[in-house]
Structure formats: structure tokens, C-alpha cells
């Protein structure tokens, strides 16, 4: 069940949003201004933040900037009475993911929340993290801090498949079917060749993982104990 943080200094607006979202199965966390929202974010998990702009103590502009800097994987939806284009430009410049003008149909809020969560889940499925290594399926790169290693397509897909299922053994036939496709009629030893290349590439990078051969079974990726 997704958790949505609602940040608005108007308790009636918060209650309206809470009632609509909770009726659709969402949990909500409520805050009346930006500083309260930050305090709650540090204590509770939120999958999405819905925020107003004009609030006391800390306004929505500051809160949006904070969330995008400190919690980049949390989508932000601004809900405000400000409809001017320059306000929207400012909002998107600060990183908001969507912008909805008050007054609004309550169910429109649900639709936008669902759309943002779906988009972020798809985005998250395109990246994997292994220790300090990040695998990016958009660019077929493996990143370690500022260092980037671009892999050939099949090598990347093979690594991504193993990394997405650490500890799971894949047979050669499974890997060929899932990476090369069922119409592949080449040598099944091509898997061995690609595994060898991956091992060589990451041997000198202090990678937090290793690809292990399970004789007679196949391959699996294992995380390396830092200790």
C-alpha cells in the first residue's frame, strides 16, 4: 500500500485529499507546512509528496527543492491555486513532477498520484544498485561514483539479469532464452564467453559482487562480503 504525504496549511483541503486517497487504498501522512513535512519524512516512509505552495513557516517552493535534493526517488505533485505560467515554470524548474491547479476534482488527484507512482516504478525497474555500483538500463552503463563503464548490449543484459536475482542460479539455457531469445541457434557456450568478459571487466574495479559458476547447474551472482 503506497503512502502519500499531504502538505497543506488548510485542514479542510488535507481532509478532502485524505478522504479521496484513503478510499482508493492509499495511506496518508499529513503536515501543515514544510518544516513539519521534513520532520515527518525523516521518521516515516512516503512514496509520494503532495504539497501546496503558500504555507507558513516553510513554503512549497522550499519544500519541493528539499525533497528533490534529499529524496530524489520520491515524486512531488504540487497542488496550488497559482495557475500562472511563470509559477508552473518555477515549479518544474525546482523539480516538481506534476502540477495541479485548485480547485480540482478529487478523483483527478487519485489519477495523478497513480500515474506518478507508476512512472517512478517503471524508472526504478530500469536501475539496479549493487553496493556502490549502479546498473542503468537506459544507457547500458555500470556506474561507480563518477566512473562509468559502458557495456556491450548482451553483456549488460546478462549482468542485469543476474544482478536482479542475486543468489539465484540460472542455467545456460535459461540465460540464452531470456537474453538472446528463443530463436537463438548459436553455440550455448556464448554464455560462458560473456561471463568471462564480465569477470575480466570488473576484476580490477573492486566490484561488490562476483559471478559464480555452479558446476553442472549454471551461474549466479553473489554479493561480496565487505568484511
Tell me the pLDDT tens digit for each residue of 181-198. Answer: 877 888 878 999 999 999
Lowest mean pLDDT among 6-10, 112-116, 135-139: 135-139
* Domain locations along the chain: 3-124, 127-223
CATH class of this structure's domain 3-124: alpha beta
Read off the C-alpha cell for 106. 478529487
- Return contacts of 162-165, CB within 8 angstroms, 24+ apart: 162/211, 162/219, 162/220, 162/221, 163/128, 163/130, 163/135, 163/209, 163/221, 164/128, 165/221
d(CA 203, CA 192): 16
Are 16 and 106 a contacting pair, CB within 8 Å? yes
Question: 85-94 and 60-70 are packed helices; what angle lies between their axes, rounded to 10 degrees?
Answer: 30
Mean pLDDT (whole number) for 82-106: 92
Q: What percent of the chain has pLDDT over 90?
A: 63
Q: What does pTM read for this prediction?
A: 0.62
- Residue 227, pLDDT above cutoff 50: no
The dotted CATH code for 127-223 is 1.10.10.10
Q: Pairing state of beta strands 218-223 and 76-80? A: unpaired
pLDDT digits (tens, 9 = 90+) for 120-136: 887 777 888 888 889 99
Closest CA relative to residue 208, chosen from 138, 134, 141, 149: 134
In whole angstroms, what separates CA 217 from the centre of its chain? 33
Amino acid at each position: 500500500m503506497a503512502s502519500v504525504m499531504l502538505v497543506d496549511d488548510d485542514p479542510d483541503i488535507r481532509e478532502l485529499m485524505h478522504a479521496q486517497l484513503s478510499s482508493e487504498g492509499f495511506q496518508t501522512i499529513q503536515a501543515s507546512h514544510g518544516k513539519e513535512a521534513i520532520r515527518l519524512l525523516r521518521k516515516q516512509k512516503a512514496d509520494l509528496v503532495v504539497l501546496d505552495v503558500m504555507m507558513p513557516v516553510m513554503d512549497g517552493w522550499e519544500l519541493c527543492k528539499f525533497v528533490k535534493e534529499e529524496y530524489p526517488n520520491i515524486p512531488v505533485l504540487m497542488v496550488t491555486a497559482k495557475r500562472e505560467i511563470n509559477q508552473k515554470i518555477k515549479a518544474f524548474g525546482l523539480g516538481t513532477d506534476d502540477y495541479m491547479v485548485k480547485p480540482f476534482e478529487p478523483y483527478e488527484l487519485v489519477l495523478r498520484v497513480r500515474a506518478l507512482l507508476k512512472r517512478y516504478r517503471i524508472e526504478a525497474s530500469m536501475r539496479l544498485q549493487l553496493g556502490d555500483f549502479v546498473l542503468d538500463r537506459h544507457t547500458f552503463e555500470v556506474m561507480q561514483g563518477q566512473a562509468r563503464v559502458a557495456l556491450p548490449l548482451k553483456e549488460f543484459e546478462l549482468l542485469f539479469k543476474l544482478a536482479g536475482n542475486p543468489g539465484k542460479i540460472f542455467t545456460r539455457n535459461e540465460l540464452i532464452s531470456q537474453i538472446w531469445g528463443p530463436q537463438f541457434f548459436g553455440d550455448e557456450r556464448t554464455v560462458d564467453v560473456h561471463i568471462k568478459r564480465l569477470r575480466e571487466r570488473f576484476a580490477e574495479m573492486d566490484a561488490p559482487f562476483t559471478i559464480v559458476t555452479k558446476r553442472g547447474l549454471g551461474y549466479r551472482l553473489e554479493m561480496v562480503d565487505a568484511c
